[in-house]
Structure 1
């Protein structure tokens, strides 16, 4: 079994994947570097949904690819950007999009690492993965988020004033930043995203954020959470951080050993309620 509990990936000793196991995981479409052999991933059916890849103009020579899941039929819907972990757009991220679409949302998952041309879900080497991730600097990612919200506002199936964002691990920190730099974002839900870099920027937040964290997270400590709560209070913010004492990093990821069913069952409805309460409905 692979054990991935660190905030932005694993250490080399966490990767012990045989060729046979890796081939099976890749065939299933999940990230090879984090899949647990004992996992029983949730699979959300796509009936009643439209799922497709699209491209989003972002000023780059090649536009930004994005996976989209949305309710079929006519009408407009609120939209949630889904920001991936370091492993790129793989089957679990697509399933999260389908879950949101089943709840009545348009879910858009941009492939922020596409410029590298590397198939990240197929990689098991941490150094190779992080080399690609580190190429995507904050300014570039923030710009891609802005391009995505601009694109959403032009779509006939989306409510232009009802855009939220959620993200996991690496993507959790993107959520905090997006709530600072993108005025089209009405609410964010950050799942176990690193806090140190954003703690000093709480005064820049323009949209409310709900943070969901694991008390057993080895990379994001309870001290980090306490510092963020203090910074939010000092900035006059009412953003909320929920800590699940028995949960590790990555507790929503049902394809990983860190999956915590109880924490996930409590946290997912909180995401939906937070979006509704803040106009993403």
Structure 2
């Protein structure tokens, strides 16, 4: 069967991809000023056919909207100093493959964060002579590796918050020297029931059946965990509510951005026309 191969490019695993293949972990943090220790990724093949895979490494950055792009290697970028084994392998159907990663810089790296992206790219298999043509997909996963020299500071601030009927956009500024993410929860309060920022907190087990919503909260969820690079400001969008009846509400955020506290609320209105 002749196969036409379609590349599926993924920086983080989607639900559909996870049903076919899996990668764990998706992120590695490595201390670069201590003893070099080997860490590892594990690639899982949940399909009924073998997967031929090649591994490559690149330097990368991210823009203010979260788009990742490759950039040239520098003496200070981590991609040039990673030792990866193996670089090419076959994952048998239903099996998994360990890929070991070690950072061995040959130059003195400056204090702060140094990054690399490790790509796992499926290779199209040879077609059988005289076979029919079908369309197949191949995967491409990118796993971020963060290397740190010196003390790690994950700090920053929420410098802007835009709220709409069913979504919100946070403007996050990273003032530290390491990539940071949010943790915690958001809640939609009826405005008349909102007790004020000082009297609200992150909701335990939010997003699960065990979460207990305070009276007056109509919907709640986890804050997004999108990465913000050190020294950067990024817009992070997320869905907040579905099918709210017309009325006045307050979006309340509680948690952290890196190691900095995050506590902000903003009122918004749902009109009858938007319902």
TM-score strictly above 0.5: no
Normalised by the length of structure 1, the TM-score is 0.22
Normalised by the length of structure 2, the TM-score is 0.22
Higher helix share: 1
Higher strand share: 2
